[in-house]
Amino acid sequence: MSSMKRRRGLRKDTKPSSKGFDPSASKTPALSVLSDLLRRRTVWFALIILAAIASAVYYDLSVFHDEADVRRPAFKVVDLPGKGKGVVALRDIKQGELLIREEPLFLLPTQIQGSPTATVHRALSKLNPEQLSIFHNLSYIEPTGGFNLEEEHAHQVALAIFQTNAVSAGGASGLFPQMARLNHGCAGAFTAVYSWREREGVIVVHAIKPIKKGEEILTTYTNTKKPRAERRNFLSQQYGFNCTCAVCSLPDALSRASDKRLAHMTELLEKLARWGHANIDGEEAIEVVRKIWDVGEREGYWSERGRLAADATWVAAGHSDAVATGEWATLAARWYGYELGVDSTHVQEMQQTRDRPETHAAWATRDSMLVGGPGSRL
């Protein structure tokens, strides 16, 4: 109590007088030393240097901050109305960012010989209790027609879990519990793509578009270049849900326009394949690639651009157009980097072609021709 009184008294004493505030009158010895220093040019010079160092350190820290951002968890698994669980971004995610890298709980051959329930049961018998609990926590849809009353129910549920969640992993099907929580989106609605790395024995999932904090991260379960009705039918039969993603929820007229663009992309891809049989020439093939890119842009369909640019690289190399080969390979490396990872073999191959176009496997397999590069637009 008494010390509070003392502080109040002190504040009163240092208040400016009603005659006006004289800064020098209230200056402490330390402040007067400082004001003397500020009058010297060398001190100003030192201050400018210090400010430059501080801004460099700030810049450096902001770079670290970006890296630290990438190290912060990118997503969490949450309950989503009507979808069971799903994956939501905890922060802004950059295009090309690695979201998941995981080994399978187990792999099974794509074509199972004998009883599928017994095969899944055998695979489960090799898991430890923690892995088993992870497996049994995954969602499943009951097969159409329900479970078979003659087989053990638990075994059928295990098979249903596998069928609902497994994805293709090279020549096999694998169960990857983290990525299994990703829900589906069609065409322009999915933002993440998974790819199997045979040599490493892992699946990697990359963000193919920038994803905003709070947004649900979606992958795709099917070839979403099919029309809405066909996509919905497939998803309902195989995965037991009625797709209401941003593309499937478009009003009818816009949905028809989207279906048209997707069908056009498929036609153009078929046309591009005709270059392989020499039914179209290099220049035309490159024009087709540009058109596919443009339609994809209008549809928001950014997946497979690495492969598309790699196809154009193949055409340009076939016709010995070194400049175009290098440019398409650069573009392919960039988009493969987003979709498959900058450390993927696809990126490495395209970087090698970019640096030495004549090493490409298709080099000079066709007549020489200037086919043209991607230009600044792509």
Name the site residues for ligand SAM (rule: CB under 6 A): 82-86, 138-139, 141, 164-165, 180-181, 183-184, 239-241, 243, 245
- Minimal CA–CA distance to 336: which of 306, 366, 374? 306
Residue 232 or 307 with smaller CB distance to ligand SAM: 232
Residue 319 Cβ, how far from ligand SAM at the closest point, in Å? 43
Residue showing the smallest CB distance to ligand SAM in the complex: 84
Residue 82 Cβ, how far from ligand SAM at the closest point, in Å? 6
Residue 165 Cβ, how far from ligand SAM at the closest point, in Å? 5
Q: In sequence order, which residues have a C-beta less than 8 Å from that of residue 350 and are 6 or more positions away?
A: 306, 309, 310, 313, 329, 330, 332, 333, 336
Q: Tokens 């053990």 sit at which residue?
A: 152
C-alpha span between 337 and 314 (Å, rounded): 18
Residue 176 or 314 with smaller CB distance to ligand SAM: 176
Residue 247 or 289 with smaller CB distance to ligand SAM: 247
Q: In sequence order, which residues have a C-beta less than 8 Å from that of residue 117 and are 6 or more positions away?
A: 151, 152, 155, 156, 158, 159
| Count of C-beta atoms within a 10 Å radius of residue 114 | 8
Residue 73 or 82 with smaller CB distance to ligand SAM: 82
Residue 312 Cβ, how far from ligand SAM at the closest point, in Å? 33
Residue 165 or 320 with smaller CB distance to ligand SAM: 165
Residue 355 Cβ, how far from ligand SAM at the closest point, in Å? 40
Residue 362 near residue 317 (C-beta atoms within 8 A):
yes
Instruction: Name the token pair of 295.
Output: 């339609």
Q: Classify residue 198 by its DSSP letter.
A: T
| Count of C-beta atoms within a 10 Å radius of residue 366 | 17
The strand pair at 218-219 and 183-184 is best described as parallel
Residue 205 or 324 with smaller CB distance to ligand SAM: 205
CA distances 147 to 1, 152, 163, 260, Å, are 78, 9, 13, 39
Residue 172 or 362 with smaller CB distance to ligand SAM: 172
